[in-house]
Structure 1
Amino acid sequence: MARIPVVDDDTTVREVVVSYLRAAGHDVVEVGDGESALVEAAAGAIDLVVLDLMLPGIDGLEVCRQLTERDDVPVIMLSAPGSETDRVVGLQRGADDYVTKPFSPRELVLRVDGLLRRAVERATPAVELVDGDPVVHTGRHEATLAGEVLALTSREFDLLRFLLANPDVAFSREELLQRVWGWSFGDQSTVTVHVRRLREKVEKDPTRPTRLVTVWGVGYRWEAAS
């Protein structure tokens, strides 16, 4: 059982999401605004947050930023149909997933369970993946570059860990969605966003990547250290 605040000022949406997550066996708390969400998070341990983008007072983006900076808690953001910019900003603030309204509650439950499962998998066993630089320490859920700890979101860490474990293999965006984050559905542009952000943190020149390279017509590949 995971403790999950569902933060949305739309009572109908909140009630539907809560009912499905409770049916899946989770301990769910209803929250109607951003300030209350931060209070709830500070009051006790939480395992994941379902968070609406548009909230009264403190908006969802700011709530997401504070939550992930403080506890690195997984966050699934909800929003009305909008531009790619909204999705990108949400991911940049630390969100692990992004669902556009209207959505299938069953799909949302699957995404929640997938994020929770990966959080458990990251905890054990402890393994160190070394391929020159960077180095991934799975037990500590930490990656270093030139001895310095990289500031990675949980999804960026999962992507880097997977790529280092599978060097010199080209993966399509669809394959990365499935094998890194366990999704059989989803917006493939999510992969593009996280590849770009990861390059900014591990490449000397992100505009001319030498480790996380694009394989035209396929997807991406991690170049093993020579």
Structure 2
Amino acid sequence: MTNISYEHAAWPIRDEIVRAHRSQWERLAMPGTWLTGAERVAIAAETRNAPNCTLCTQRKDALSPYTIEGEHDSLGVLPEVLVEQIHRIVTDPSRLTRKWYDGLIDAGLTPEKYVEALGCMATTIAVDTFCQGIGIDIWPLPEAHPGEPTLIRPPAEVGMAWVPTLTRDLADGTAFEWIYGARKRVTNIYQAMTLVPEEVRGFLGEMVDAHYMPSQWTGDPDDLPHAITIPQIEAVATRVSSLNGCFY
């Protein structure tokens, strides 16, 4: 088990960030909804490997990534269709298209596995870039736990996105009402992974609550438990999104 601790970091790290990283690093290794623990850890490993891929570098430099054919430099653990998803999202997210997504589905990847893999990637990237940002080594990946996925699917439908999502209306009266709870305002980002509710609970719940702003935040700037203000947070987020080519 990886014992995540930031006690030797150059800056004090808030307790909720430490708790979130420990909890989600452990969850990464557990059987998920559609993926085994071993598959989830393999996705995290491939997420780290993607920037080293020659094919991805060539595609990134090309006028269109779809003009370059070849094989990914993968770790050889995951199916090629999952490797394609991971590598493209990591290395060239601003040029993803609906046709590309449909191609993954036609090749055998299910929307449910696509979304869960995305959650694993997001968790890995969030923890890794945090470590890099404070100048420490990234953590070893956790050991996978045995067990089978739950295969629990909410009544999500295709509507606002390429993948099915569970809107508040669809969640009302079901076992998934907790996703929205008492939230008065629900962003598209929050709904993005609702096809796999546990990824909402883990990444958009615990991780985003710790790093961005708590879901129960009242809107009063004096109640935000951060060292910087909301405008400062948004300014940093905007700059990072621009540098990463991350738009929606």
Q: TM-score range by the shorter chain?
A: under 0.3
Greater strand fraction, Structure 1 or Structure 2: 1
Greater helix fraction, Structure 1 or Structure 2: 2
Q: TM-score, normalised by structure 1?
A: 0.27
Higher RCO (C-alpha under 8 Å, 6+ residues apart): 2
